[in-house]
Amino acid sequence: MKKSFLSTIAFAGAAAFALTACSSDSGETAEGSEDPGSAGDELITVGFAQTGSESGWRSANTESMQTAFSEENGFELIFNAADNDPAAQISAVRNFINQGVDAIVLAPIVEDGWDDVLQEAADADIPVILEDRTVSASEDLYEAWVGLDFYKEGVMAGEWAAEQFGDTPTRMVVLEGTTGSAPANDRAAGFNEAIAGTAIETIDSQTGDFTRDGGKAVMEGYIANYGIDNIDLLYAHNDDMGLGAIEAIEAAGGVPGEDITIITIDAVKDGMQALVDGKINFIVECNPLLGDLAAQLVKDVLAGEEVEKTVYVEDQTFTQEQAAEVIDSRLY
Ligand code: GZL
Q: 133-171, pLDDT tens digit by residue?
A: 999 999 999 999 999 999 999 999 999 999 999 799 999
**Ligand 1 centroid – CA 58 distance (Å):** 6
Provide the number of structural domains found in the chain: 2
Is 183's C-beta closer than 6 angstroms to any atom of ligand 1?
Answer: yes
Ligand 1 centroid – CA 329 distance (Å): 22
What is residue 36's predicted lDDT score, i.e. its pLDDT?
54
Examine residue 325 and state whether it is found in any structural domain, yes or no: no
Q: Give yes or no for residue 268 CB within 6 A of ligand 1.
A: no
Q: Is 311 in the pocket of ligand 1 (CB under 6 A)?
A: no
Q: Is 228 exposed, middle or buried (0-12, 13-18, 19+ CB in 10 A)?
A: middle
Cβ–ligand 1 contact at 151 (below 6 Å): no
- Judged on CB neighbours under 10 Å (0-12, 13-18, 19+), 248 is buried
Instruction: Tell whether 250 and 201 lie within a shared domain.
Output: yes
| Structural domain contains residue 323 | no
Distance 180 CA to ligand 1 centre (A): 13
Q: Are residues 165 and 50 in the same domain?
A: no
> What's the confidence (pLDDT) of residue 35?
52
CB of 57 closer than 6 angstroms to any ligand 1 atom: yes
Within a domain: residue 322? Answer: no
238 and 261 together in one domain? yes
pLDDT (0 to 100) of residue 301: 98
Q: How many other CB atoms sit within 10 Å of the CB of residue 307?
A: 18
Asked if the structure places residue 320 within a domain, the reply is: no
Q: Supply the CATH number for residue 218's domain.
A: 3.40.50.2300
Ligand 1 atom nearest residue 288's Cα: 6
How many Å lie between the centroid of ligand 1 and the Cα of residue 98? 29
Examine the domain organization and report whether 161 and 257 are in the same domain.
yes
Q: What is the pLDDT at residue 14?
A: 42
**Ligand 1 and 3: CB distance under 6 A:** no
238 and 303 share one domain: no
Is residue 222 in contact with ligand 1, taking CB distance under 6 Å?
no
143 and 199, same domain (yes or no): no
Question: CA triplet 288, 286, 325: central angle to 5 degrees?
Answer: 100
Same domain flag for 99 and 189:
no
The CA-atom distances, in angstroms, between 29 and each of 4, 23, 261 are: 17, 5, 57
Full-model pTM: 0.89
Measured CA to CA, the distance from residue 110 to residue 302 in angstroms comes to 26
Q: Is 206 found in the same domain as 278? A: yes
Q: Is 146 in the pocket of ligand 1 (CB under 6 A)?
A: no
Residue 180 in domain: yes
Asked if residue 255 lies in contact with residue 229, where contact means CB atoms within 8 angstroms, the answer is: no
Residues in the chain, pLDDT under 70: 1-40
216 lines ligand 1 (CB under 6 A): no
Is residue 331 assigned to a domain?
no
Q: Please, are residues 321 and 257 in contact by the beta-carbon 8 Å criterion?
A: no
Query: Is residue 234 domain-resident?
Result: yes
| Residue 281 counted as domain residue | yes
Cα distance between residue 213 and residue 206, in whole Å: 13
Instruction: Indicate if 122 and 204 belong to the same structural domain.
Output: no
Burial (CB count <10 Å: 0-12, 13-18, 19+), residue 6: exposed
Ligand 1 atom with the shortest distance to the CA of 265: 9
> What is the 202 CA–ligand 1 centroid distance (Å)?
22
Nearest to residue 127, comparing CAs of 87, 93, 82, 84?
A: 93
pLDDT at 166: 78
How many Å lie between the centroid of ligand 1 and the Cα of residue 293?
17
Q: Clarify whether residues 229 and 215 are in a common domain.
A: yes
Whole domain around residue 109: which residue ranges?
3-148+287-314
Centre of ligand 1 from the C-alpha of residue 215, in Å: 14
Backbone angles phi, psi at 290, to 5 degrees: -105, 0
Q: Are residues 274 and 154 in the same domain?
A: yes
| DSSP state for residue 303 in the 8-state scheme | T
Q: What SS3 class is residue 134?
A: coil
Sheet of 310-312: strand order equals 75-81, 44-50, 103-106, 128-132, 144-147, 310-312
102 CB near ligand 1 (under 6 Å):
no
Number of DSSP helices (H) and strands (E) in the chain, helices first = 11, 12
Contacts of 153 (CB under 8 A, 6+ apart): 183, 186, 187, 190, 265, 284, 286, 315
Same-domain pairing of 237 and 125: no
Q: Which of 258, 2, 303, 308 is nearest to 146 (CA)?
A: 308
* pLDDT at position 38: 52
The strand order across the sheet containing 261-266 reads 200-207, 170-176, 233-236, 261-266, 282-285, 317-319
